[in-house]
């Protein structure tokens, strides 16, 4: 049954859209700018037109929720050690052939537990979380829902974090600026055009670069960069160098950048795990280009999980996986050896190490 044939339309009217020619609606939530006709749904599967109005069908629905370490996102230079209440909806604006969350992101159905923004914030607080992350699928496609949750969360003293592909619009940047504190923007395959066209389903990475510039110029959102290095098809070092150079020149050398290890999943089970040596070559490229904080992710125990002082080379934060093993910074986040100011916002909470940061969520619904 089509939405137009139902008495009650799921979700809520969207706010990121404008009228288009021929009675269509132009969605402005992401850089696809889908032009959607009556009774149709955009590529993401969760934004569609009913009676001339664009609806966000998953507003008030959560398909997955869990308490995670903030470092899992990964975010390592903003509120380290924080417990983050993570939520997702169905749908996505990308078609990644390797997505580890494909059962959520590629599900073009309106499903999930029904919750209000207030209930999400109250549940996050009940679980002792320091903030809320909008993750597992692309949060830009449910921006209005995230906004309404985030505004309440900020009012209650929680931080808000996006794990995002960065395929935004100026309109979504404006809405995010009203509540978002941090974002990890996840490039894929070194942002190489042919990789993105074949394995992601977008023409090029330019909208991501434009989004990053908009975030820098118009907001106070903390940004970290990740890059999923895919062996054989998305590990070109010259492409990595171009990406790193752009980040250095436009966002600055203190921007944290994480090179993440690929593992076989979804439609790309034929490829191996990314060799650690490949990740280390990417790390060296980023250091050669002048980046101060470069990390290797998804390799627990690797020395490049830790933070080193750009001034003297001393290890100042030791990590194992998502855990902080040793926090050596001074109270004002300076290197204890040379006094260099480390570009990390915040420090581990007082109860760090005494409470679990991986916690399943059980909703209290009548």
Tokens at 184, concatenated: 């990890």
C-alpha 150/C-alpha 65 separation (Å) is: 15
What's the rounded Cα separation, in Å, for the pair 190 and 234? 6
Q: Is 226 exposed, middle or buried (0-12, 13-18, 19+ CB in 10 A)?
A: buried
366 contacts: CB under 8 Å, gap ≥ 6 = none
Upper half-sphere CA count for residue 165 (Cβ side, 13 Å)? 29
Report helix angle 206-218 to 237-250, nearest 10.
20
DSSP 8-state assignment for residue 219: -
Nearest partner of 243 among 286, 277, 293, 200, judged by Cα: 286
DSSP annotation of 179 reads T
| Cβ-contact 286, 309 below 8 angstroms | no
pLDDT value for 4: 46
pLDDT value of residue 344:
98
CATH top-level class of 61-327 = alpha beta
Nearest to 25 by CA among 8, 42, 4, 11: 42
Task: State pLDDT tens for residues 201-232.
Answer: 999 999 999 999 999 999 999 999 999 999 99
Residue 195, CA atoms < 13 Å, CB-side half-sphere? 21
Return the bridge partners of 114, or none: 61
Tokens of 115: 């919750």
Q: Are 270 and 280 in contact (CB under 8 A)?
A: no
pLDDT at site 127: 97
Return the SS3 of 18. Answer: strand
Q: How far is CA 162 from the centre of its chain?
A: 4
Nearest to 288 by CA among 340, 336, 237: 237
Q: Where are the beta strands (DSSP E) in the chain?
A: 12-13, 17-19, 25-27, 35-36, 47-50, 53-56, 61-62, 64-69, 83-88, 113-114, 131-134, 159-164, 182-188, 222-229, 257-261, 294-297, 307-308, 315-320, 323-327, 359-360
pTM, full prediction:
0.97
Residue linked to tokens 């089509």: 2
Predicted pLDDT at 365: 72
pLDDT at 364: 85
Tens digit of each residue's pLDDT (9 = 90 or more) over 301-340 = 999 999 999 999 999 999 999 999 999 999 999 999 999 9
Q: How far apart are CA 303 and CA 75, in angstroms?
A: 17
Per-residue pLDDT tens listing for the chain (366 residues): 455 455 589 999 999 999 999 999 999 999 999 999 999 999 999 999 999 999 999 999 999 999 999 999 999 999 999 999 999 999 999 999 999 999 999 999 999 999 999 999 999 999 999 999 999 999 999 999 999 999 999 999 999 999 999 999 999 999 999 999 999 999 999 999 999 999 999 999 999 999 999 999 999 999 999 999 999 999 999 999 999 999 999 999 999 999 999 999 999 999 999 999 999 999 999 999 999 999 999 999 999 999 999 999 999 999 999 999 999 999 999 999 999 999 999 999 999 998 899 999 999 876
């Amino acid at each position: 049954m089509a939405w137009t044939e139902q008495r009650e339309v799921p979700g809520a009217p969207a706010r990121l859209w404008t009228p288009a020619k021929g009675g269509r609606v132009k969605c402005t939530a992401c850089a696809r700018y889908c032009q959607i006709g009556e009774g149709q749904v955009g590529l993401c599967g969760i934004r569609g037109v009913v009676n001339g109005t664009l609806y966000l069908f998953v507003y008030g629905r959560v398909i997955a929720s869990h308490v995670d370490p903030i470092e899992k996102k990964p975010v390592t230079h903003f509120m380290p050690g924080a417990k983050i209440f993570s939520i997702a909806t169905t749908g996505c604006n990308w078609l990644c052939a390797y997505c580890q969350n494909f059962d959520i992101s590629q599900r073009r159905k309106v499903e999930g537990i029904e919750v209000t923004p207030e209930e999400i914030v109250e549940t996050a607080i009940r679980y002792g979380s320091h903030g809320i992350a909008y993750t597992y699928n692309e949060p830009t496609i449910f921006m209005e829902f995230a906004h309404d949750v985030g505004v309440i969360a900020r009012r209650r003293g929680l931080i808000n974090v996006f794990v995002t592909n960065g395929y935004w619009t100026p309109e979504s940047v404006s809405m995010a600026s009203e509540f978002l504190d941090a974002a990890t923007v996840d490039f894929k395959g070194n942002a190489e055009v042919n990789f993105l066209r074949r394995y992601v389903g977008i023409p090029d990475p330019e909208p991501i670069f434009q989004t990053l510039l908009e975030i820098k110029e118009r907001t106070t959102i903390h940004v970290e960069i990740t890059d999923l290095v895919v062996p054989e098809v998305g590990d070109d070092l010259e492409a990595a160098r171009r990406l790193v150079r752009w980040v250095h020149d436009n966002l600055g050398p203190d921007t944290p950048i994480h090179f993440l290890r690929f593992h076989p999943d979804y439609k790309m089970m034929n490829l191996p795990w990314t060799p650690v040596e490949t990740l280390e070559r990417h790390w060296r490229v980023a250091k050669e280009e002048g980046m101060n904080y470069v990390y290797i992710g998804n390799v627990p125990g690797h020395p490049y999980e830790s933070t080193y002082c750009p001034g003297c080379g001393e290890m100042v934060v030791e990590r194992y996986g998502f855990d902080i093993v040793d926090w050596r910074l001074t109270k004002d986040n300076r290197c204890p050896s040379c006094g260099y100011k480390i570009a990390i916002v915040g420090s581990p909470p007082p109860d760090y190490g005494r409470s679990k940061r991986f916690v399943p969520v059980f909703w209290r619904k009548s």
